[in-house]
Each structure stands twice: as structure tokens, then as C-alpha cells.
């Protein structure tokens, strides 16, 4: 397999392809190749919104070849945190990159006018996007579907107005229902005047040992569809966690003032499924189909004129725009998700920013003159919809501050104790205990998905673990996810890809690795990412933990600053950091 990187310069309009066999041999692909390319392309201190800041999209050796190896990783300098930006998306992108023959795409520079990139195999064109600049992310997809070739093997990724206007947590919509949601990739697109990227390909993928390939493929496929992975993610989907975490007192509610939501049943996954579920979809190459789409019916005129909007939902948006804002209806949450989809905002950051603003207003840190009379109050869906639109259009200093993230807004207006960010990234929907907090602090992208601290807390709630054991688990996950994310599989199916299955599937495409080599790779990838983070100013000894985490009882009971500090001390020691 020839392993190539496509380089595109938006300033000059030029592009070229380079074989980078050594890069992929040493770093596998996906996140391993992504971080090395970022180090090559992004000098220390680069402004994340400058032409010099690169966008790197990369896949791994199994994408498009084995089931559930469906993701693409974007690596960039985050406009939100100022350090490592890393985000994963499914859809058809990894398949389209595979068929176009590019394992990584590096985008440099800034176009002189709104543009989009069109890639078909090795042909790259930079096209005028003036007529779609300012248009919402969904309509942009509809327009490009009409204009571009490659149906069936094509992926369309695009930003909405939030990315164009450089909201620091703007995302990139991928094939309508998937996203590069976190850490502001949409703003990086916007800063390059890059509205979209369309990619398709016709290349053939050879596997060296067809018989072995078939055997391993069938084994992985069967494991995916015959184990509880299928039941867990396909049936109700991740939103099944709303009821579970609510009962266990781990569901953040009203900006983490509470850890359970008395109205939780009304916004449970079961309720969404019963009343709004319209269909389920899959990323290309996945037999599970966890993408749940709701039909949201809304009146647009008198005399019973309705439109039906299709809105995807899962656990995180229901937490961030639901329980976290005290929203008591599934329909209200779908309306707020829909605003984020159209404008291209990351739902998690947007929800946390609004919940901080609601509390800041209640406490008198801001007034209605800042909110421009928008009623930011728990459960006020109309008010929150207007506030989301204002974050994008930024009509005054207050909304400009909200567009920079909750850490920045709280620095300016006060309320840091309840500004729910860790490592400057708005937090995910788990108030499960110390491993979740520490996991997001130490994680390379400050995400719950870096090391699943929330899951370690839940295990510890059943069978107590001391801080050292929890840290060991975090480190093990940090490292092993580095390997899996260099493949780049869907984390929902990480149980399918055991070490043995990874070795076998790599063997079937001609890559020979031992268990020790994989473990070493995971550790090296983690270290390279930390090297970049530290270079850009991240310092684990100066991270902020919002006091609210210690005030509200979690699923594991009260968390104390001493426990968190002890775990951080053990973590640094085990990593060999002073």
C-alpha cells in the first residue's frame, strides 16, 4: 500500500502529493501521523487563526477496509485552548480519503476569497465559495451535493456562520449528521476562508492476503454485531445514559448545581425514541448504526403549514443543551440542537457557555443590558435559541466574550468557580467523580474520550479503587487509545479491537506489529502530543478546577481538592514529569 500525504496551499492555490512511507511506518497513521505532521507544519507560538496554522486530516491503515474503522482525525492548533486541537468525525470522510488515495491531507495558507476545496483522486481544485459564504451548514451541504461529482464515494465537510465568524468553538459538519465538533476546527476553517471540502475517489484498495483478510473481517464483523455493542449503541443509543446517570446522580444539571435532574424522564433516550426517533444511520463501513435521527415538526406559517427538520441526537447534546440548561422537553432540546447544527456550533461548548451565563445573570455578575434583554433562564428554550444566534453574530462585547469560550467569559465577568471548563475546554456530561475530572485535565484534548475517566469512576463506585489504581487506569487508557486512534476506529467499538484483533487486522493488510510494539507506539504518540502542548504553553501544574466540582455531590460522593491534587501528583510521577 502506497501511503501518501496531499498538501494543499490555499494562499498559492497549489497542491502536491508526497509519499511518506516512513511517517506511516513509524507512526501508523491517524493521530500518530497527525501529531507528527502538526509538529512539522506548526511552528511554536503560531496564531491558531493565522494562515500559518495548518489543518491536518488523517486516517489509518484499516479505514475503509475493516468494519467500524470509520473515523478521521483532524489535528490543528486549537483556537479555543491555544494548544493541541484534535477532533474525530465519522460519516463517509475516511472512506472517501481511502478511495482518493490520501492517508493524510495538510491544508496550509489562507484563500484570498471564500473558497472550497474539491478533491477527486489526485485532482485538486480550489473553487469560489462566495455564493455560499454566510449560508448555514445544512444548506451548504445541499448545494454542494448538486454541484460536485463522486456520489456514493464522496464526503462533504463544511462550516456554518459560526466558523466563518471565528467562534472559538465552531465545529465542522461532516456529511450532515457527524461532526468535528470540539476545540474549534470550524474557526480554523473560517480563518482560512475555507467554507468546505469535498472529496471523492475511485482508487482500488488491494489487500495482500485475501483469505486472511476475509477471515479477520468476518471475525470483527461478528463481534461487532453479536455482542452488547450492537444492543447498547443501536437500540436507544448513547442517550440511554440519561436515565442511568440520572439515577446514579452523575448527570450534570443546571450548570452542575445538581447531579440529577428531577425532570430527567422527560428527556430520556427512551422518551426521544418513543416520540421523535425517525431513523437510524451508520457511518460508512459500520454495521452498528448508532446515529439516531429525530423528526422535529415545526409550524412555519398559519393554517397548519409545517416543516419537518431531521435532527441527530445523542447523550452529549441532551446533557449540554438539556439537563445542563434545565430544559424539560425533548422537543426544546431538539430545537436547540438544530440551531447549533445550522450555525455550526459545538453543542457541548455552547451548552456550557449558556449555563454559565444563566448563573452569572442570576448572581448579578451580568445584567440584561449585557444579554440585550435575551432571557437566559433555566428551561427558556426561546431565550437560549436567541442567545445561540447572538453568540454567532456577536452584537456586543458580552456575546463576543461568550464566543471565546466559558473560560474567557468568566475571566472577564467573574464566576470562575462555576465556569465549567477543564484545560479551557468546556466539560462533558459526567459528574462521576475524581477520575473524570483528572482524566479531562490530563487528557491530550481535555475530553472525556481521551481516557474515559467517567467509566473508571463508575467501576470504582462498584469496587473501590485507591487514587494510584485510578491513575494507572487513566494512563493505560491514554496510551491504548493512542494506538486505536491511529487506526482510526470508532471508540464505540474499541472492545471489538482487542490487541490480538488489531495485530491480526494489521497483518491482513501487510503490517507486522507485536503487542510490545503497539504499546510502545501508544506511549510515544502520547508523549509527542504532550511535547506539542507544553511547547504551546500548557502546564499541568497550573490547571484550574472549577470549585463547583467540589460543591456538588457526584456519583462517587463528594470529591475533594486533596484527592484531585493527589491523583495529579501521582500522574506526573508515573509519567516521569517533574
Residues that bind ligand SF4 (CB under 6 A): 68, 70, 90, 233, 282-283, 286, 288-291, 490, 492
Q: Min. distance of Cβ 396 from ligand SF4 in angstroms? A: 38
Helix (H) or strand (E) holding 172: strand 172-174
Burial class (CB in 10 A: 0-12, 13-18, 19+), 294: buried
Q: Report the C-alpha gap between 114 and 430 in whole angstroms.
A: 39
3-state secondary structure of 195: strand
Q: Min. distance of Cβ 178 from ligand SF4 in angstroms? A: 7
Q: Which is nearer to ligand SF4, 67 or 190 (CB)?
A: 67
Q: Which is nearer to ligand SF4, 67 or 405 (CB)?
A: 67
Q: Min. distance of Cβ 39 from ligand SF4 in angstroms? A: 28
Burial class (CB in 10 A: 0-12, 13-18, 19+), 146: exposed
Q: Which is nearer to ligand SF4, 219 or 232 (CB)?
A: 232
Residue 78 DSSP symbol: -
Q: Which is nearer to ligand SF4, 92 or 424 (CB)?
A: 92
Q: Which is nearer to ligand SF4, 291 or 456 (CB)?
A: 291
Q: Which residues contact 80 (CB under 8 A, 6 or more apart)?
A: 168, 169, 183, 184, 187, 349, 404, 405, 424, 425
Q: Min. distance of Cβ 154 from ligand SF4 in angstroms? A: 17
Q: Min. distance of Cβ 534 from ligand SF4 in angstroms? A: 32
Q: Which is nearer to ligand SF4, 233 or 261 (CB)?
A: 233
Distances (CA, A) of 339 to 309, 311, 389, 392, 400: 11, 10, 8, 11, 18
Q: Min. distance of Cβ 199 from ligand SF4 in angstroms? A: 18
**In the numeric block, which cell numbers belong to residue 32?**
500518530
Q: Which residues contact 14 (CB under 8 A, 6 or more apart)?
A: 8
Q: Which is nearer to ligand SF4, 13 or 287 (CB)?
A: 287
CB 5 within 8 A of CB 102: yes
Q: Min. distance of Cβ 321 from ligand SF4 in angstroms? A: 20
**In the numeric block, which cell numbers belong to residue 343?**
450555525
Q: Which is nearer to ligand SF4, 158 or 179 (CB)?
A: 179
Q: Min. distance of Cβ 176 from ligand SF4 in angstroms? A: 13
Q: Min. distance of Cβ 281 from ligand SF4 in angstroms? A: 7
Q: Which is nearer to ligand SF4, 311 or 419 (CB)?
A: 311
Q: Min. distance of Cβ 412 from ligand SF4 in angstroms? A: 36
Q: Which residues contact 237 (CB under 8 A, 6 or more apart)?
A: 269, 273, 280, 290, 292, 314, 315
Q: Min. distance of Cβ 172 from ligand SF4 in angstroms? A: 16
Strand locations in 302-428, DSSP E? 305-313, 421-422, 425-426
The H helix count followed by the E strand count for the chain is: 24, 17
Residue 537 DSSP symbol: T
Give which of 402, 405, 450 is closest to 425, Cα–Cα.
405
Q: Which is nearer to ligand SF4, 141 or 190 (CB)?
A: 141
Q: Min. distance of Cβ 487 from ligand SF4 in angstroms? A: 13
Q: Which is nearer to ligand SF4, 233 or 408 (CB)?
A: 233
Q: Which is nearer to ligand SF4, 90 or 326 (CB)?
A: 90
Q: Min. distance of Cβ 494 from ligand SF4 in angstroms? A: 10
CB 90 within 8 A of CB 107: no
3-state secondary structure of 515: helix
Q: Which is nearer to ligand SF4, 494 or 513 (CB)?
A: 494
Q: Min. distance of Cβ 280 from ligand SF4 in angstroms? A: 8
Q: Min. distance of Cβ 323 from ligand SF4 in angstroms? A: 22
Q: Which is nearer to ligand SF4, 81 or 223 (CB)?
A: 223
β 55-58/15-19 pair status: unpaired
Q: Which is nearer to ligand SF4, 175 or 450 (CB)?
A: 175
Instruction: Please provide the DSSP assignment of 434-489 as one string.
Output: HHHHHHHHHSTTS-TTTT-HHHHHHHHHHS---HHHHHHHHHHHHHHHHHHTTTT-
Strand arrangement of the beta sheet that strand 277-281 belongs to: 277-281, 291-301, 305-313
CB 278 within 8 A of CB 310: yes
Q: Is the bond into 123 cis (omega within 30 degrees of 0)?
A: no
Q: For 131-134, which contacts have Cβ atoms below 8 Å and span 24 or more sequence positions?
A: 132/195, 132/196, 133/164, 133/193, 133/195, 134/161, 134/164
Amino acid at each position: 500500500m502506497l501511503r501518501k500525504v496531499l498538501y494543499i496551499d490555499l494562499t498559492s492555490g497549489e497542491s502536491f502529493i508526497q509519499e511518506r512511507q516512513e511517517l506511516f511506518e513509524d507512526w501508523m497513521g491517524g493521530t500518530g501521523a497527525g501529531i507528527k505532521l502538526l509538529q512539522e507544519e506548526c511552528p511554536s507560538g503560531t496564531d491558531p487563526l493565522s494562515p500559518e496554522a495548518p489543518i491536518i486530516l488523517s486516517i489509518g491503515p484499516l479505514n475503509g477496509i475493516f468494519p467500524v474503522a470509520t473515523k478521521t482525525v483532524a489535528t490543528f492548533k486549537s483556537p479555543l485552548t491555544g494548544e493541541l486541537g484534535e477532533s474525530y468525525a465519522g460519516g463517509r470522510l475516511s472512506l472517501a480519503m481511502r478511495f482518493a488515495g490520501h492517508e493524510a491531507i495538510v491544508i496550509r495558507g489562507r484563500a484570498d476569497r471564500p473558497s472550497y476545496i474539491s478533491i477527486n483522486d489526485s485532482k485538486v481544485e480550489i473553487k469560489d465559495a462566495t455564493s455560499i459564504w454566510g449560508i448555514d451548514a445544512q444548506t451548504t451541504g445541499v448545494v454542494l451535493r448538486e454541484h460536485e461529482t463522486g456520489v456514493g464515494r464522496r464526503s462533504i465537510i463544511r462550516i456554518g456562520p459560526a466558523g466563518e465568524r471565528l467562534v472559538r468553538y465552531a465545529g465542522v459538519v461532516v456529511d450532515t449528521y457527524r461532526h468535528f465538533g470540539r476545540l474549534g476546527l470550524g474557526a480554523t476553517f473560517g480563518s482560512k476562508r475555507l467554507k468546505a471540502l469535498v472529496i471523492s475517489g475511485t482508487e482500488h484498495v488491494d489487500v495482500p492476503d485475501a483469505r486472511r483478510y476475509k477471515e479477520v473481517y468476518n471475525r470483527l464483523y461478528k463481534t461487532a454485531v453479536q455482542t452488547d455493542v450492537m444492543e447498547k449503541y443501536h437500540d436507544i443509543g448513547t442517550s440511554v445514559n440519561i436515565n442511568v446517570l440520572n439515577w446514579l446522580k452523575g448527570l450534570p444539571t443546571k450548570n452542575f448545581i445538581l447531579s440529577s435532574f428531577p425532570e430527567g424522564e422527560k428527556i430520556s433516550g427512551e422518551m426521544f425514541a418513543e416520540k421523535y426517533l425517525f431513523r437510524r444511520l451508520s457511518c460508512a463501513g459500520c454495521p452498528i448504526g448508532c446515529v439516531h435521527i429525530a423528526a422535529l415538526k415545526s409550524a412555519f406559517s398559519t393554517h397548519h403549514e409545517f416543516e419537518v427538520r431531521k435532527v441527530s441526537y445523542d447523550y452529549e447534546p441532551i446533557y449540554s443543551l438539556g439537563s445542563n440548561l434545565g430544559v424539560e422537553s425533548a422537543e426544546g432540546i431538539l430545537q436547540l440542537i438544530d440551531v447549533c447544527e445550522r450555525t455550526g456550533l459545538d453543542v457541548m461548548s455552547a451548552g456550557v457557555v449558556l449555563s454559565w451565563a444563566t448563573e452569572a445573570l442570576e448572581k448579578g455578575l451580568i445584567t440584561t443590558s449585557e444579554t440585550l434583554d435575551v432571557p437566559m433562564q433555566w428551561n427558556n428554550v426561546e431565550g437560549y435559541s436567541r442567545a445561540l444566534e447572538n453568540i454567532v453574530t456577536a452584537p456586543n462585547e458580552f456575546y463576543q466574550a461568550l464566543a471565546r469560550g466559558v473560560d474567557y467569559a468568566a475571566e472577564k465577568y467573574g464566576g470562575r468557580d462555576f465556569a465549567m471548563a477543564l484545560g479551557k475546554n468546556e466539560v462533558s456530561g459526567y459528574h462521576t467523580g475524581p477520575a473524570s475530572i483528572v482524566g479531562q485535565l490530563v487528557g491530550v484534548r481535555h475530553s472525556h474520550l481521551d481516557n474515559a475517566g467517567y467509566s473508571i469512576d463508575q467501576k470504582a463506585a462498584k469496587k473501590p479503587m485507591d487514587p494510584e489504581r485510578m491513575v494507572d487506569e487513566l494512563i493505560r487508557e491514554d496510551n491504548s487509545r493512542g494506538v486505536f486512534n491511529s487506526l482510526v476506529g470508532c471508540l464505540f467499538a474499541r472492545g471489538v479491537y482487542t490487541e490480538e484483533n488489531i495485530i491480526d487486522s494489521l497483518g491482513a493488510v501487510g503490517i507486522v506489529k507485536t503487542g510490545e510494539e503497539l504499546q510502545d507506539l501508544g506511549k510515544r504518540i502520547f508523549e509527542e502530543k504532550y511535547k506539542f502542548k507544553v511547547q504551546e504553553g500548557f502546564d499541568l501544574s497550573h490547571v484550574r478546577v472549577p470549585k463547583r466540582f467540589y460543591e456538588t455531590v457526584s456519583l462517587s460522593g463528594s470529591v475533594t481538592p486533596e484527592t484531585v491534587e493527589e491523583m495529579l501528583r501521582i500522574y506526573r510521577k508515573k509519567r516521569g514529569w517533574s
